[in-house]
Amino acid sequence: MKMKKIIVKIATVVIVLGLVGGIIYWKSLPEEDVSIETVYTEEYQNNVADELESKKSLNDYDEDHMLIEYNPFKTNTLSLYVYFNTEEATKVSYTVKAPETDYEDFSANVDGSYRTEHEFQVLGLIPGTLNEVEFAIEDEDGNTITRTYEYTTSSLLGNEDVQLEEMNSTVDSVDIGNGLFAFMGNDSDEQDFMYYYDEDGVIRGEIPILGYRSHRLLFQDDLMYFSVAESKMVAMNGLGQIVKTYDLGQYELHHDYVFDNDGNILILASDTESDTVEDRIVLLDVETGKVSEVLDLEDLFGSYKDITSHDEDEDWDWMHINTLQWLEDGSVILSSRETSTIIKINDLETNPSIDYLIGEESFWSDTEYADYLLMPTSEFSNTGGQHSVTYMRDDSLEDGQYYLYLFNNNYGVSTTRSDYDWTQIEGIETKLATEGDTEIDSVSYFYQYLVDENEGTYSLVQSFEIPYSGIVSSVQRVDDYIITDSGMQGVLGIYDAQGNLLKQYKSMLNKKYIYRIYYYDFDGFYFNI
pTM for the structure as a whole = 0.93
CA separation for the pair 483, 306 (Å, rounded): 38
- Counting residues of the chain whose pLDDT is more than 90, the rounded percentage is 87
The domain of 22 spans 7-152
pLDDT tens string 94-103: 999 999 999 9
Mean local confidence (pLDDT), 460-477: 97
Q: Check which CATH number belongs to the domain holding 17 and give it.
A: 2.60.40.10
pLDDT tens string 155-172: 999 999 999 999 999 999
* Contact predicate 503/166, CB 8 Å: yes
In sign, the C-alpha dihedral spanning 257, 261, 264, 269 is negative
Number of domains in the chain: 1
Q: What is the pLDDT of residue 441?
A: 79
- Counting residues of the chain whose pLDDT is more than 70, the rounded percentage is 93
Residue 13 has pLDDT above 50, yes or no: no
Mean local confidence (pLDDT), 265-271: 98
Mean local confidence (pLDDT), 47-51: 97
pLDDT level of residue 433 (50, 70, 90 thresholds): confident
Residue 25 has pLDDT above 80, yes or no: no
Q: Which of 380, 475, 485, 487 is nearest to 433 (CA)?
A: 487
Q: Which of 66, 88, 195 is nearest to 141 (CA)?
A: 88
Mean local confidence (pLDDT), 247-263: 97
Beta-ladder partners of 11: 31
- Please report whether residue 357 resides in a domain: no
The dihedrals phi and psi of 429, each to the nearest 5 degrees, come to -90, 140
Mean local confidence (pLDDT), 481-491: 96
CA separation for the pair 529, 526 (Å, rounded): 10
Residue 454, SS3 per DSSP? coil
Residue 423, SS3 per DSSP? helix
Range with lowest mean pLDDT among 364-373, 380-389, 437-446 = 437-446
Q: What is the pLDDT of residue 445?
A: 98
- Please report whether residue 514 resides in a domain: no
- Please report whether residue 258 resides in a domain: no
Residue 298, SS3 per DSSP? helix
Tell which phi-psi region holds residue 365, choosing left (phi > 0), alpha (psi between -120 and 50) or beta.
alpha
- Please report whether residue 119 resides in a domain: yes
Beta-ladder partners of 408: 445
pLDDT tens string 114-157: 999 999 999 999 999 999 999 999 999 999 999 999 999 999 99
Q: What is the CA radius of gyration of the chain?
A: 24
Single-letter amino acid, residue 128: G
H helix or E strand, kind and range, residue 299: helix 298-306
The dihedrals phi and psi of 300, each to the nearest 5 degrees, come to -105, -25
Q: Which of 86, 178, 179 is nearest to 135 (CA)?
A: 86
CA separation for the pair 50, 58 (Å, rounded): 13
Indicate the DSSP class of residue 337. T
CA separation for the pair 515, 197 (Å, rounded): 15
Mean local confidence (pLDDT), 246-256: 97
pLDDT tens string 71-89: 999 999 999 999 999 999 9
SS3 for 46-106, per residue? Answer: HHHHHHHHHHHHHCCCECCECEEEECCCCCCCCEEEEEEEEEEEEEEEEEEECCCCCCCCE
